[in-house]
Amino acid sequence: MEPFVTLTGVAAPLDRVNVDTDQIIPKQFLKRVERTGFGQFLFYDWRFLPDGKENPEFVLNDPRYRGASILVAGPNFGCGSSREHAAWSLLDYGFRVIIAPSFADIFYNNCFKNGILLVTLPDDAVRSLMDAAARGVAVTVDLERQVVETAEGASWGFEIDPFRRRCLLEGLDDIGLTLQHEDAIAAYEAKRKDNPLAVFAAR
């Protein structure tokens, strides 16, 4: 998992409430063999018209927001199905931060597992951020200091669980955490020859 410390970038305002994971990634795209490559299907039914052309009305197709790395959205973002593909598609598209007044539980967990920072801010702060984004003002999200700032000088602090914060700052996923026991694993492997059950275990 990529560590996340701080990021300054373009924010895209998605002014909708209750965005569910079926919208984030429709089910016909779940049969793939990869965990990556889902970005092209992100918000598929909103981004593309039935004939497959881009829908010019949708925010991510607006030239101002191409290359956005921060998504600012309405409350209860990520509700519905538990599909981890939703997190995979957001990350693959290029989002590292999502800011909203509230998030659905399972989606929240899935995002942190995949290195996406979710920032919960009050309604009025989210509203101000959406306005700033629309004016093309860059946004900075600093996890170390736990603060969101605009290039115009507005700033808001945010709360986050210390364990999740540490995992993100250090880029630790489950595997990363286990690898912190690398010495123990290596020591175990080294003394396998003395372990009567493991002697014959290697093929």
Residues at the contact surface with other proteins, assessed by CB under 8 A: 1, 31, 33-36, 173-175, 178-179, 181, 184-185, 188-189, 195-203
**Residue 24 CB, nearest distance to other proteins (Å)?**
18
**Residue 133 CB, nearest distance to other proteins (Å)?**
28
By beta-carbon proximity to other proteins, the closer residue of 34 and 51 is: 34
Q: What 3-state class would DSSP assign to 23?
A: helix
Q: What 3-state class would DSSP assign to 51?
A: coil
**Residue 33 CB, nearest distance to other proteins (Å)?**
4
Q: What 3-state class would DSSP assign to 6?
A: strand
CA atoms within 13 A of residue 78's CA, in its CB half-sphere: 29
**Residue 140 CB, nearest distance to other proteins (Å)?**
26
By beta-carbon proximity to other proteins, the closer residue of 106 and 132 is: 106
Q: What 3-state class would DSSP assign to 95?
A: coil
Spatial separation of the C-alpha atoms in residues 62 and 197, rounded to whole Å:
62
